[in-house]
Structure 1
Amino acid sequence: MKKILSALLVLAAQQAWAQHATTETLFSSKSGKKTTIGAYGAPAAKFTPIDGKFGLLTGGYGGVLLNGKIMLGAGAYSLVNNVDMPAVNANAQKEYLNLWYTGFVAEYIHNSDKLVHWTAGALIGGGAAGRRNKNWWDGDDHDHTYDNHGFFVAEPYANVELNITKFLRLDVGASYRYVGGSNTTGITDGKLGGPSLNIGLKAGKF
């Protein structure tokens, strides 16, 4: 009888721990009921070389979080600085790259209750690259993009994640952008693709 009671107590304790986990955060650690279905959004920036030049992509991703481990959602990024394009001919005016992409995102979060942990995922989708004859700071609202071509993109990534508060997390990591199918004059798929250093801030219910 004592063995049965002991076993029941152990089982009850395990169930209580499974439902009430302690989430370690930078400013406080709180015990609470584990979220079965949550959600978050993460504005992010990517620092990446494009054709040997510095590129800054901004955007973000987010979606539905299942059991604190698996996120299914979407993401989108676009180039926000001026990256010079190779001249089509000797008399051509200066032109810049126009680049954006979007797609489905899946992410796995390992030991999300720990103060510092890791995540891994991938974006799979498509985008477009074109030539732009005006820079971002001209103050002209008209569209000056042409020679636009779509492409397929796949971007796996891995991050180190810090729990700042129960509802806020900082991600720093790296990704690699695979691009295929672009026919924009003067730039190849290989030049559009490449590694990125990433930083993002997640906000939501974890």
Structure 2
Amino acid sequence: MLKTAFSFLLLLACMATAWAQTEVPTAKEPEVLFQGEVNHGFYLAPSLQLTRFHDKSGFMVGGRAAWLMNHKVAIGLAGYGLTTQTNIGEIEETNNAFLQVGYGGALLEYIPEPDKLFHLTFPLMVGLGGAAYTDNFSDNQNTGNYSYEVYDTDAFMVVEPGVQAELNLARFMRLGLTFSYRFTHGVSLPKTSDKDLSTAALTLTAKFGRF
């Protein structure tokens, strides 16, 4: 009996020793997009865009604001507003209506080789916009009547991918020329549809920030 108890205690001691010597597996590190220390930066970028509405050329002004990670990925906001008067002619409320357009949303930009003097970037904007028929504000200014009447409005979704050729002018400044295509969905005005707002655009952008 004593011999059996001693053997049992010896077996328990061996098992405890083996358990103590067993390495506890370390927790597996999760896979992440950015390994190691992340470098942060930012930029602000006023922009001038040449595009077309109703088969007429027009200018939009706007800009971008983005947070940079590891010099290569930018996440931010972008937006544009039409500055050129686009006459669409007669509608039910008036015989001289003008189209106004603005849109904006989230910006994602990938910059594969940011350190090269001349390089490409790939911006993508996804957001919402609005279109409206209004009276001629310039004519109202000439006559001294500063009323601004809106006849009809509509909202739409917009997706605008592009490719940008960018030049590093200084450590804090970059100049880019972007070719993009604007896809719109949901435009339903009497004389304006998605096909009238979905078109190519050429945008000149000056970036200022910490790259």
User: Does the 8 Å contact 2:60/2:81 carry over to 1?
Assistant: yes
Q: CA deviation at 1:93?
A: 2.6
In the alignment, which residue of structure 1 is the partner of 2:73?
70
Larger relative contact order (CA 8 Å, sep ≥ 6):
1
CA distance in 2 between partners of 1:66 and 1:192 (Å): 33
* Structure 2 counterpart of 1:85, from 84, 88, 96: 88
In the alignment, which residue of structure 1 is the partner of 2:57?
54
User: Does the 8 Å contact 2:106/2:126 carry over to 1?
Assistant: yes
Q: CA deviation at 1:67?
A: 0.2
Larger radius of gyration: 2
Gaps of at least 5 residues in structure 2 are: 1-36
CA RMSD of aligned residues (A): 1.9
Gaps of at least 5 residues in structure 1 are: 1-33
**3-state SS, counterpart of residue 110 of structure 1:** coil
Larger helix share, 1 or 2: 2
Q: CA deviation at 1:136?
A: 4.3
In the alignment, which residue of structure 1 is the partner of 2:5?
none
TM-score by length of 1: 0.79
Residue 123 of structure 2 corresponds to residue 118 of structure 1: no
- Note the 1:19-168 alignment, pairs <5 A: 36-88=39-91, 92-136=94-138, 138-139=140-141, 141-168=146-173
User: Does the 8 Å contact 1:96/1:131 carry over to 2?
Assistant: yes
User: Does the 8 Å contact 2:43/2:68 carry over to 1?
Assistant: yes
CA distance in 2 between partners of 1:35 and 1:44 (Å): 28
In the alignment, which residue of structure 1 is the partner of 2:18?
none
- Count of matched residue pairs: 172
